[in-house]
Amino acid sequence: MLFLKMGPALAQGPILLRGRVVDAETHQPIPNAQVGVADNRIGTSTNEDGRFALSIPPALLGEQLEVALLGYRKYARALPPLPGPELRIELKIAPAALGEVQVTGSVLGIVREAVARIPRNYPTRPTQLTGFYRESDNDPAGQPRYLAEGLVLAFKESYLRRTADGEIQIKQSRKVDLRRDRTPIRIDWAGGPFIAHMGDFVHRRSEFIDAAHFKDYDYRLAPGSTFQDRAVYVITFGPKAGNRRAAFEGRMYIEQDSYAFLGAEWHYTPAGLRRGARDVADSRSLRVAYQPYAGRWHLKTVWWQTEAKLPVGPPLKFFGEFLTTAIDTAQTARPGYLERAQLYDVFLRNKVVYDSAFWQGHTTLLPAAALQKSLFDQQRQQQANSLFKPAEAGTHPQEKKPSAFDRFLRRFSYGTHAGAWPLAVPAAGLAVAYAPAGYGLQVQRAASVRAQDLTLFTQFEYEYALTRELAARLATQRLHRQFGGDGWEAGLSYQHNFTPRHRPFYGRAGLGYIRQTVDLPLGRFDNPDAGLRVAGTHLGADELSARLQTVIDALRPSLGLGLELSHRFELVADASYLVPLRSKTQLQLDEESGFFLFRSSATVDLPRADVDLRVNDQPTTRLPWQQQHWLLSIGLRYRVR
């Protein structure tokens, strides 16, 4: 009775359609063919073996199945009864319709017209694509070192606006290390699933379809073909003879009737690699295709490959691909901040053991047979290992517990600040004379102080989170403009998120103990006495320098605000009040010659009998600048994890 009751419920779920697409004449598998149902509302693509798997909702069982690929006639039939055996689909070649044309001007006119018609051919309102993403890094033999996969939602802005940006949500994901007899691999690829936006050459108006760069490219018409029974222009593009600015070379496909871009494939030129490949790649290639749905063309697939020789480790052969499996053209709400992946976040940290049923219920891109074999072999090895070494309670068999250092890094952040240091400085003339008893040194230096209302400072800080909101803080700071001086601060900071369901906006409070030196250089002079000792410190260098300084100890309570720019970066602004505890005036002498690691410094506290200090020709024991109380700063914080 239980199974009888479960039967209707199970029948409501998606039904899997499996198929294989081959060439009608050669019977060889056809990869990258587009497979769609219900006018491409849902779909997938064939893998390297020509196979596909499509999850069909019950509401679409009466719809038509379509298979299309550039250069072949479109296959269109009603869906077969499901469930059923693997469907075999044979595509017939469509004859080329156009010959070689060498009139470059008219070919460029086709490209210009296609760009002008983007508002007619592509979505003019936000669209959400459900997609499947996969990436891997292959060894020199072509075997993948790891596999990362994800089910993602890609939010697309209107194509009326030129952009390479967009939101990505990762709904489900896994990462599998496929290396044998090695320590677990560390994968820190950033922005992987964002190729759904970065590879969309129509949305971003890539250089080879940008009017500002047409002068750098040579466009030619190649023998034509068809796509989904539509005649297309096949246009090759590349740098003009002698041009070293063009970044790309390849070909694009434009429908003859609508002038819609149906796809393109291209690689980076040496100039493009120098300008655009941040990871110093040796080669980079892309292939992008679009599909029709509801009267517009939408992104279907992005294929991305990068090869590079790294300074450390084996050569890199990175491969990533994105496949649209469903399209939503309704008024899609932009995903909230907390749901969006960040471009510079590591794509996948999770480690999930391979399971052939992992993507059950979702349409994905089937892995090639060689990759499936690697996954299956690893699964068997893991099962064998689990017989001898059971997994620890609460952890995944492939997941390694984070080390103490990793746990420390997750609590660690650092940042840099700039601001105004509160120092009141009137214009004044300074003169100092110092003749230590028993030595031949006589220091007589003079300097002019300019009136100054604003003294700048920079600060570098480290924070370690004690709790979610409370952190220990250590910082160093330096003054700039006519005054110099280094300082440090130690204390606690508190941060509370006012918007836990949206982009974090923080209220900040802190209390620190600060010591800061404010000094005025007085220049360099020769040291006549190699045995000179000042305040118990030997200063035997041939050349010395002098400076007058104040050393301030204070408490620093602060209040401020913080705005998270990404999951790792935060913009902060603080207002602080200095509560002075003590202050002293000093004359400092520094060695300026000899090996810099062994140079010494000595300070003489003022007032002192052998030091004559004058301000505007009047004897004094105080320097003219005065420490004020209010301090303002703005900065950027970075979280390691």
**Structure confidence by residue, pLDDT tens digits, 155-176:** 999 999 999 888 999 888 887 7
94-99, Cβ contacts within 8 angstroms, sequence gap of 24 or more: 94/225, 94/226, 94/229, 96/223, 96/224, 96/225, 97/224, 97/225, 97/226, 97/231, 98/221, 98/223, 98/224, 98/233, 98/234, 99/223
Burial per residue of 1-37, b for 16 or more beta-carbon CB atoms within 10 angstroms, e otherwise: eeeeeeeeeeeeebbebebbbbeeeeeebbebbbbbb
Burial per residue of 512-544, b for 16 or more beta-carbon CB atoms within 10 angstroms, e otherwise: bebebbbbbbbeebebeeeebebbeeebebeeb
191-210: average pLDDT: 93
pLDDT score for 2? 41
For 2-159, list the strands marked E by DSSP.
Answer: 15-23, 34-37, 42-45, 51-56, 64-68, 75-78, 87-91, 127-138, 144-156
pLDDT score for 369? 80
The structural domains of the chain, with segments of one domain joined by +, span 2-91, 104-354, 406-639
The dihedral region occupied by 617, where left means phi > 0, alpha psi between -120 and 50, and beta the remainder, is: left
pLDDT score for 382? 60
187 versus 513: which is more confidently predicted? Answer: 513
Q: What is the DSSP letter of 178?
A: -
pLDDT score for 141? 74
190 has a pLDDT exceeding 60: yes
Assigned CATH topology for domain 2-91: Immunoglobulin-like (2.60.40)
392 has a pLDDT exceeding 60: no
Is-contact 475 459, C-beta < 8 A? yes
**Structure confidence by residue, pLDDT tens digits, 528-556:** 999 999 999 999 999 999 999 999 999 99
**Structure confidence by residue, pLDDT tens digits, 394-444:** 444 444 566 677 777 778 899 999 999 999 999 999 999 999 988 988 999
Q: What is the band of 101 on the pLDDT scale with cuts at 50, 70, 90?
A: very low
Arithmetic mean of pLDDT over the chain: 86
Spell out the residues 6+ positions from residue 30 whose beta carbon is closer than 8 angstroms to its own: 21, 22, 23, 46, 50, 69, 72, 91
308 versus 125: which is more confidently predicted? Answer: 125
101-116: average pLDDT: 80
CA distance 56 to 336: 29
CA distance 483 to 422: 12
pLDDT score for 358? 77
Of 122-131, 133-142, 200-209, 568-577, minimum mean pLDDT range? 133-142
Q: What is the band of 97 on the pLDDT scale with cuts at 50, 70, 90?
A: low
Beta bridge partners of 583: 552
pLDDT score for 454? 83
Give me the half-sphere count of Cα atoms (radius 13 Å) on the Cβ side of residue 19: 28
345-358: average pLDDT: 65
Neighbour count for residue 308 (Cβ, 10 Å):
16
562-586: average pLDDT: 93
Neighbour count for residue 146 (Cβ, 10 Å):
20
pLDDT score for 406? 72
How would CATH label the architecture of 406-639?
Beta Barrel (2.40)
pLDDT score for 391? 46
3-state secondary structure at position 274: helix
180 has a pLDDT exceeding 80: no
Of 49-63, 148-162, 220-234, 497-511, minimum mean pLDDT range? 220-234
Is-contact 208 266, C-beta < 8 A? yes
75 has a pLDDT exceeding 90: yes
93 has a pLDDT exceeding 70: yes
Q: What is the band of 567 on the pLDDT scale with cuts at 50, 70, 90?
A: confident
3-state secondary structure 325-343: EEEECCCCCCCCHHHCCCC
**Structure confidence by residue, pLDDT tens digits, 121-153:** 999 999 999 999 998 888 777 777 888 888 999
Q: What is the band of 178 on the pLDDT scale with cuts at 50, 70, 90?
A: confident
pLDDT score for 197? 95
Is-contact 580 552, C-beta < 8 A? yes
Is-contact 267 247, C-beta < 8 A? no
240 has a pLDDT exceeding 60: yes
Distances (CA, A) of 462 to 354, 487, 561, 627, 637: 40, 14, 18, 26, 9
pLDDT score for 303? 94
Q: What is the band of 336 on the pLDDT scale with cuts at 50, 70, 90?
A: confident
Spell out the residues 6+ positions from residue 380 whose beta carbon is closer than 8 angstroms to its own: none
Q: Which of 570, 575, 572 is nearest to 557 (CA)?
A: 575
C-alpha of 89 from chain center: 41
DSSP structure string for 138-171: E-TTS-EEEEEEEEEEEEE--TTS--S--EEEEE
H or E stretch at 104: helix 104-116
User: What's this model's pTM, rounded to 2 decimal places?
Assistant: 0.76
Q: Which of 14, 28, 15 is nearest to 88 (CA)?
A: 28
CA distance 34 to 25: 19
pLDDT score for 393? 43
177-184: average pLDDT: 62
First to last CA, the chain: 52
pLDDT score for 159? 96
